[in-house]
A = this chain, B = another copy of it.
Amino acid sequence: MYKNKNIKRTELSELGEFGLIKRLTKDFKISNPSTLKGVGDDASVISHEGDEILVSTDLLVEGIHFDLTYTPLIHLGYKAAIVNFSDIAAMNGIPEQITVSIALSNRFPLEAVEELYEGINLACKKYKVDLVGGDTSSSVSGLFISVTVIGRANKDTITYRNGANVNDLIFVSGDLGAAYMGLLLLEREKQVFQADPEIQPELKGYEYILERQLKPEARTSVVKLLKEHQVIPTSMIDISDGLASEILHICDASEKGCCLYEEKIPVDATTVSMAEEFKIDPTTAALNGGEDYELLFTIKQQDFEKIKDLAEITPIGHITEADAGANLISRDGTFVQLIAQGWEAFKKNKE
């Protein structure tokens, strides 16, 4: 679906590939001095002196990662950029450039693709990231978006997944589970709509969880905040697949265990009330829901004082020896072993 159904429909074949690229990228402005050459040659040229370069890439596939019946293309473009920026933030870096490749069937007119790029451009402007290249192609069916992001980090503060040590404190930014509840709500309203197109979707009061699903943000602000307070995390990852899956990645890479406290996991009130409506434990949504794009990181105990008063982040547990395993202490004090039940890109296809 795209925003304005009354506008002109221009077939992509009228423009040709070069015409399309020119049209789509004309509103993108360069904002980083390191971007020496953007779109328009065989490769973009990026200057970096002293710092390390971070590169990450993500692929979004129609019918697997998004459903166009309830995802406006402008939001899809925004999200496609954000999920990549989030990967750079997760290395304690700042995103600076992206390339965007799309393949789409000819059921999409130019206006639809422009709306998608409008969303990408909004994300680029907000995060001061430069679009420096890409490729566009037909597909036999469906829409595919492949984004690669290039970021920068100081070589002494890059944060990997494997640096967590015993007794390090585990922090998370923002709140968890909201994006997943937003998805469940959209899926429910889609079914209601399919059963009776006369019924208007009931989305009022749920703006927060819908925005978390449709228009997530990347926590580069947390990267800047940690720098400002002179804290270098010992390990970091972004929460794309759910808290349980992500903390297990840190534990695996660092060869450690962990102890999380259920009562400390930040969950928004809207998430809790929606979870109750769906008869889902809100903690389950936080642990396994995914797509929150918050940062999960560990810090040394002695750094706690520096950041304990920041509203943007919450301590939720600590790192243990590997043989203690990865556990959640529930509200009633029982130990629950953490298992990853997040998104499984290949299993979804078989449903």
Q: Contact residues of A with B, CB < 8 Å?
A: 12-13, 15-17, 20, 36-37, 40-50, 52-65, 87-88, 90-91, 93, 97, 99, 101-103, 105-106, 132-142, 144, 146, 148-151, 153, 155, 158, 160-162, 236-238, 253, 344-350
Cβ of A9 to closest chain B Cβ, rounded Å: 15
**Residues A346 and B16 in contact, CB atoms below 8 Å apart:** yes
Across the interface, name the chain B residue whose C-beta is closest to A65. B137
| A95 nearest in chain B by CB position | B43
* A42-B20 contact, Cβ under 8 Å, with A144-B103, A148-B148, A345-B138: no
Check A99 against B148 for contact (C-beta < 8 Å).
Answer: yes
CB-nearest residue of chain B to A142: B140
Does the CB pair B346–A133 fall under 8 Å?
no
Q: Are A138 and B16 in contact (CB under 8 A)?
A: no
Contact of A160 among B37, B105, B134, B346 (CB under 8 A): B37
Shortest A317–chain B CB gap in Å is 21
Closest to A141 in B: B141
- Shortest distance between the CB of A72 and any CB in chain B (Å): 21
Give bound CA distance, A133 to B60, whole Å: 15
Q: Is the CB of B90 within 8 A of A42?
A: yes
Lowest 6 A-B CB distances belong to which pairs?
A146-B146, A138-B349, A43-B56, A42-B90, A43-B54, A148-B148
Contacts of A61 in B (CB 8 A): 103, 137-140, 144
A123 to B: closest C-beta gap in Å: 17
A155 touches B50 (CB 8 A): no
Q: Give the contacting residue for A45; candidates B41, B91, B236; CB below 8 A.
A: B91
Which residues on the B side are within 8 Å of A236 (C-beta)?
A: 42
Contact between A350 and B106, CB atoms less than 8 A apart: yes
Min Cβ gap A79→B in Å is: 15
Smallest distance from the beta carbon of A28 to chain B beta carbons, Å?
15
Known: A17-B345, A45-B158, A148-B148. 6 other contacts (CB 8 A): A20-B346, A42-B88, A45-B153, A55-B148, A57-B99, A138-B349
